[in-house]
Structure 1
Amino acid sequence: MSRLFTGAAAAVTTPFKNNSVDYDQFRKHLTFLKEHSIQGFVVNGTTGEGTTLSAEEKTDLLKISVEVAGGDIPVIAGTGTNNTAQSVVLSREAEALGVDGLLVITPYYNKTSQKGLVAHFTAIADAVNIPIILYDVPARTGMTIAPETIEILAKHPNIVGLKDATGDLAHYSYLQTVVDEDFSFYSGNDDLALPYYAQGGHGIISVLANALPKEYQELYEKAQTDKDEALAIHQQLYPLVEALNVDVNPIPIKALTSHLGFGEYELRLPLVPLEENEVSILTNLFDHIRKDG
């Protein structure tokens, strides 16, 4: 099976206005991303505040995403929850809407065993006929997908890749030894994009690519052809990547998407916006990078 994408996909933010989804600004943002070299839309995930979206909102966001993508780039729907049956329902609904793939997180809060992970992911993969990227983000779920579990799951024909947000490059090296070359690895950490590529990573599902899609795709391409230029891009982006750690994702990145004109700077509770001085630091760094670029 060919890869869903290589290079930079955006973990797309969801704009709100008066606590309602601003679909016009969402469409505008997707169009910007597509016009600036993004290689995929990842919708209704962590960065999209998927856990606060209603079923109807998720459906409408996916419909718009499929329309804007127009078959030119893949739409990957975040359908994972801590309820296997609900994840199956969401995954089937997303498939029916025409998405190209699914991003499925490990169960959180009622976290399971490795045996439970195999059963959970297999049940979802058995229920659909489109590719699935597993999502390992232990900082949010409290557990990591073990290499032995990846080895089992990678044998399922619908499980084609991993979004690796462990931040552990040694763990990634181990994972590479238990799958075949058709299995795709995507970094889930913007700060580790370049070293992840150096170890053979196939791309990134990026937060900052919401604001700098062209730069993140260029970083991937240069990493394949010009290591010095790739390092220069990495070093240019790194201060802003670090600055995004001022608060939990997606609080900081939505300050930048708003700065670009893609909706109000608004989040859904329990998330709250940054203070004005923190927003200024981010936007000044961002404007400096764009000016230099």
Structure 2
Amino acid sequence: MGHIFEGVGVALTTPFTHNEIDLNALRRHLKYLLENDAKCIVVNGTTAENPTLTDEEKDQVLEVVVNYVNGQVPVIAGTGTNNTEKSIQASVRAREIGADGIMLITPYYNKTNQRGLIEHFTTIANAVKLPVILYNVPSRTNMTINPETVETLSDNEYIVALKDATNDFEYMDELKKRLDLNHFALYSGNDDNVVDYFDKGGHGVISVASNVIPNAFQSLYNAKQKGEDIEVQFHPIQTLLDALAIDVNPIPIKALTAVEGFGNYEVRLPLVKLQDAERETLEQAYEQFKAGDQA
């Protein structure tokens, strides 16, 4: 069994117009991503403002994505919560809608221990019987999946990958010692570390910035697979990422998806938009990136 994807997976934003999900903008966005070499679409994750979406909205977005993509690339649904039974319910709905896999975040607020993580993830995986990407993002959940826990979970036939947003390369090194990477994929969850992550054998990235520049990230991964030094190629991307770091995700990236016509520049509370001067600076950085990319 191969990996779900290799290269760039897009952590898809949710487009809003007048606080309603803009399905036409969503389809335009998907068209752009498929035409620009996205290898996987990850729906209803952090970047999608998942906590502010109703269950009906999440299902609606997933259905539009599954139908539009129509098997061209895998579609992964973010269905993990801090409630195991609700995670199962959401995952079953995702399977019925047609998702190719699910992504499960570690429980938050009522965080558990490592034994609890094993039971939580295993129970969901066995109930749903879809490929599972574990999502380790301690900066948002205040807990981590220890390497030995990932190793144990990798014995489950459905648990096949990890989105690693720790930005900890000692952690990655320990994972590599414990896992069969021919069958278990490691994806970076941090756009800014992909040069090192790819150098160390990571299989790709689940990327925020790739909502607008998927081809740049996929080209970077392809170059690495050819044995090229990708540090210089990454410099313009890093400059844009520095500009995107002006505020917490997904506030800045949605300013750029709005530039491309994928919905208005809207986020749902508790998120608030960039101030005008911040937005102008970010958009200038994006235009400079695109001008360089076209040179």
Is TM > 0.5 for Structure 1 vs Structure 2?
yes
Q: How does 1:70-89 map to 2 (within 5 A)?
A: 70-89=70-89
Query: Which residue does 1:174 correspond to in 2?
Result: 174
1:167 alignment partner, SS class? coil
Q: Secondary structure at the match of 1:134?
A: strand
How high is the sequence identity, in percent, across the aligned residues? Answer: 48
SS in 1 for 2:59: helix
Shift of 1:232: 2.0
Amino acid at match of 2:124: I
Following superposition, the deviation at residue 39 of structure 1 comes to 0.3
1:145 aligns with 145
| Matched residue type, 1:291 | A
Structure 1 position 12 matched with structure 2 position 3: no
What does residue range 191-230 of structure 1 map to in structure 2 within 5 Å?
191-228=192-229, 230=230
Taking the aligned partners of 1:235 and 1:85, their CA distance within structure 2 comes to 44
In structure 2, what is the Cα distance between the partners aligned to 1:232 and 1:70? Answer: 36
Task: Report the CA distance between 1:54 and its aligned residue.
Answer: 0.7
Aligned to 2:267: 267
Separation (CA, whole Å) in 2 of partners of 1:63 and 1:233: 36
Give the counterpart letter for 2:204 in structure 1. G
Q: Does residue 241 of the first structure (1) align with residue 241 of the second (2)?
A: yes
1:107 aligns with 2:112: no
Q: How does 1:49-88 map to 2 (within 5 A)?
A: 49-88=49-88
- The unaligned stretches of length 5 or more in structure 1 are none
Q: Give the aligned residue type for 1:216.
A: F
Give 3-state SS (helix, strand or coil) of 2:245's partner. Answer: helix
Q: CA deviation at 1:245?
A: 1.5
Counterpart AA for 1:40: C
Q: Which residue is equivalent to 1:118?
A: 118
State how far apart, in whole Å, the 2-side matches of 1:106 and 1:82 are: 7
Root-mean-square deviation over aligned CA pairs: 0.8
1:173 to partner: Cα distance: 0.7
Instruction: Give the C-alpha shift of residue 266 in structure 1.
Output: 0.2
Instruction: Tell me by how many angstroms 1:191 deviates.
Output: 0.3
Instruction: Flag the 1:9–1:81 CA change in 2: closer, same or farther, 3 A.
Output: same
How far off is 1:233 after superposition? 2.0
Letter in 2 for 1:153: L
Counterpart CA distance in 2 for 1:35 and 1:66 is: 16
Residue 158 (structure 1) aligned with residue 158 (structure 2): yes
* Alpha-carbon distance in 2 for matches of 1:250, 1:262: 14
Q: Deviations over 1:127-165 (max 9, x none)?
A: 112100000000000011001100110000000000000
**How many residues are treated as equivalent by the alignment?**
292
> Which structure 2 segments of 5+ residues have no match?
none
Q: Distance in 2 between matches of 1:2 and 1:133?
A: 14
Deviation, 1:226, is: 4.5
Over 3 Å off, 4+ runs: none
